[in-house]
Amino acid sequence: MHELWLTTEAAATGLVGWLINALFWVFLVYSVLAASSYISLNLIALSAVKRATRRGQDLFLPKLHEQTLPGVSILLTAYNEEALIVSSVRSLLQLNYPDFELVVIHDGGKDNTVGVLVEAFNLKKYPAVVHYEVPCARIRAVYRSEDHPNLILVDKDNGGGKADANNAGINFASKPLFCSMDADSILERDALQRVIRLFLHTPDTIAAGGTVRIINGCQVKDGHLVSVGLPRSLLARFQVLEYLRAFLFGRLGWSRLKALLIISGAFGVFDRDAVIKVGGFTQGCLGEDMDLVVKLHKYHLERQKPYHIHFVPDPVCWNDAPEDLPTLRKQRIRWQRGLLEVLTLHRSLLFRRRSGTVGWLAYPFMIVIEALSPIMEMLGLVFTLLLWLTGYLNGLAAVTLLVASIGLGLLLSTSAILLEERSFHVYPSYKASLKLFLLALVENLGYRQLNSWWRLVGTWQHLRGAKSTWGEMKRNTGWISQ
């Protein structure tokens, strides 16, 4: 093997030099593998985006008649959401959908979430009979409102995380479909109709997710999005790019390959019966959204039952992104731990017979590319630094490789910006596109590395078996106008 990366002194050390060189090739091959996987997903997503954004869709799509739309239970989990919960509930109660109920699950937080809801919506205690079809912590009380007959508040003991809260909601849901959401999410008014259409027209659909976008920098009034803009904070702007990459080509691409493993907890619609059959969300699981989808895949693949799990790029949910480092750090560590938890829990799916693209493509990708990437990135960085310090490194080669790596990251981000422009072009100005491009450059100078570090911390915590918690998320409410 050609000793490309080493100085002649290092190359002269024989076996050690050979090993060091081999390691560099491993990192290079890994980068190429990761890059080509993402680029392939890009290309697959491109064809799906074209169909989803065809001009004149309003003319071509069959009109939805109210009597054809199935009922939906919207599950809104709330833990210390006093600041946002009333506006979230108000916004959701105005959804343009004929048959829905809103189940707010208060997960035993320390603030006055229940108090503000009771007052705002004239809620009263209600003698509901609880049937624990899926396991959840004890239900303390149930409230209903005469003013809003389709609003239910479930107050439960804390424990089991968001998964447990969702399960409590499922136990109270009376409609055939349920939509799990975050308390800080704003749904576009017809978002639910757009995703439900899939359940109507593709039989055997058991789950569908929609795009989640960053609401920071936008303006919301009375629960409606009135203007869209880029966030002011640099941290939130980086996340805009990340969300574009993750949702526009990541999930869309996997959905086209019938191997979607994640539907965001911020906005996903599920068949209630299908979820009950797999035991609901796994209590205490940090990656509860991915875990549920993987369980659904496993259940149906094992039984060779026809099913569909979709990602629909068109309906949009707007979510609040962390704007401070500690909150973002907590989130990224939790995401990494959630990912590893799920991959470990369901490892039997990997290369399983008759598991199709799920077991043979998506699962290996998640392990090799998603889960291992922070380790590989950090190892590569540390390794390069060590070699440089010991004088063994061919600096020019390393710099060239680094520049190529930055170029690859830039290409992935700019192709996401291009896809965004090709499809939903949500950000209205030329300036926004240019800003996003600059962000795509700048994110390689620290933000990406910071994320890798946090994900590494998450990996370490997972390996150590450290206690997993959601923690408290600091919310921004600047985008709300009352």
Partner 1 sequence: MAFAVSSDPNLVIVAWTAVALFGASLACLLASLLLRWQRQREHDHHEAVSNRWRPLLYAVIAGETLPPVALPEKDWVPFCMTWLRLYEQVKGSSQEALIRALHQLDLRNRLLTKLRGNDTDDHLLALLMLGALREPLVIGPAQRMMNSRYELLSSVAVRALLRVEPEAALPTLLGQLNRPGWSVARLMSTLLPVSSPIRRKHYLRAVDWVAEDQLPALLELVARTEADTFASVADRALHRQPYGLEILVTVLSHTRVPQHLTLAKVALGHPDSRLRLAALSAYQALGSLADIERILGALDDQAWQVQAAAARTLVSWPDMTPPDARQLLAALPADSRGRPYLFEALYRKGWVALAIDPQGAAAHA
- Pick from 13, 40, 96, 202: which binds partner 1 (CB under 8 A)? 202
Residues 241-300 binding partner 1 (CB under 8 A) are none
Count Cα neighbours of 296 within 13 Å in the Cβ-side half-sphere: 31
Which two tokens mark 342? Answer: 């799920």
From the list 8-16, 199-207, 317-325, 376-384, the region that binds partner 1 by CB under 8 A is: 199-207
Q: Which of residues 94-133 bind partner 1 (CB under 8 A)?
A: 125-132
Q: Is 235 in the site for partner 1 (CB under 8 A)?
A: no
Rounded Cα gap, residues 139 and 168, in angstroms: 8
CA torsion angle for 120, 125, 127, 132 (degrees, to 10)? Answer: 70
Helix, strand or coil, per DSSP, at residue 127: coil
Asked whether position 437 contacts partner 1 by CB under 8 A, the answer is yes
Q: How far is the CB of 189 from partner 1 (least distance, A)?
A: 20
User: Which residues, 6 or more positions from 274, have their beta carbon under 8 angstroms from its beta carbon?
Assistant: 206, 207, 296, 299, 307
Binding of residue 14 to partner 1 (CB under 8 A): no
Span of 95-103, 152-160, 392-400, 444-452 interacting with partner 1 by CB under 8 A:
392-400
Q: Which is nearer to partner 1, 169 or 223 (CB)?
A: 169
Q: Look up residue 172 and give its two tokens.
A: 């109270």
- Residue 417, interface with partner 1 (CB under 8 A)? yes
Question: Is residue 396 close enough to count as binding partner 1 by CB under 8 A?
Answer: yes
The full length of the chain comes to 482
Both tokens of 358, joined, read 């799920």
The 10 Å Cβ neighbour count of residue 223 is: 18
201 touches partner 1 by CB under 8 A: yes
Closest approach of partner 1 to the CB of residue 390, in Å: 20
Which range touches partner 1 (CB under 8 A), out of 195-203, 250-258, 285-293, 471-479? Answer: 195-203
* DSSP letter, residue 467: P
Q: Is 368 in the site for partner 1 (CB under 8 A)?
A: no
- Residue bearing tokens 């569908």: 208
Under 8 Å between Cβ of 180 and 148: no
Strands 219-221 and 480-481: parallel
Considering only residues 12, 29, 33, 200, which one is a binding residue for partner 1 as defined by CB under 8 A? 200
HSE of 397, CA atoms in CB hemisphere, 13 A:
17
8 is a site residue for partner 1 (CB under 8 A) = no
Least gap, CB of 363 to partner 1 (angstroms): 26
State yes or no: residue 154 binds partner 1 (CB under 8 A).
Answer: no
CA separation, residue 184 to residues 89, 155, 318, 319, 475 (Å):
10, 18, 8, 6, 8
The reply to whether 411 sits near partner 1 by the rule CB under 8 A is yes
Q: Which is nearer to partner 1, 404 or 457 (CB)?
A: 404
**Displacement of CA 242 from its chain's centroid (Å):** 10
Is the CB of 6 or the CB of 183 nearer to partner 1? 6
Q: Which is nearer to partner 1, 203 or 465 (CB)?
A: 203
Q: Which residue is it, tokens 């593709």?
A: 202
What the block records as the tokens of 142 is 């149930």
Six-digit token pair at 99?
């048959």
Per-residue binding string, partner 1, 39-68, x by CB under 8 A, is ------------x--xxxx-xxxxxxx-xx
396, HSE (Cβ side, Cα atoms, 13 Å): 2
Q: CB of residue 364 vs partner 1: minimum separation in angstroms?
A: 25
Chain residues that interact with partner 1, rule: CB under 8 A: 2, 4, 51, 54-57, 59-65, 67-68, 70, 125-132, 139, 199-203, 396-397, 400-401, 403-404, 407-408, 410-411, 413-415, 417-418, 420-422, 425, 430, 433-434, 437, 440
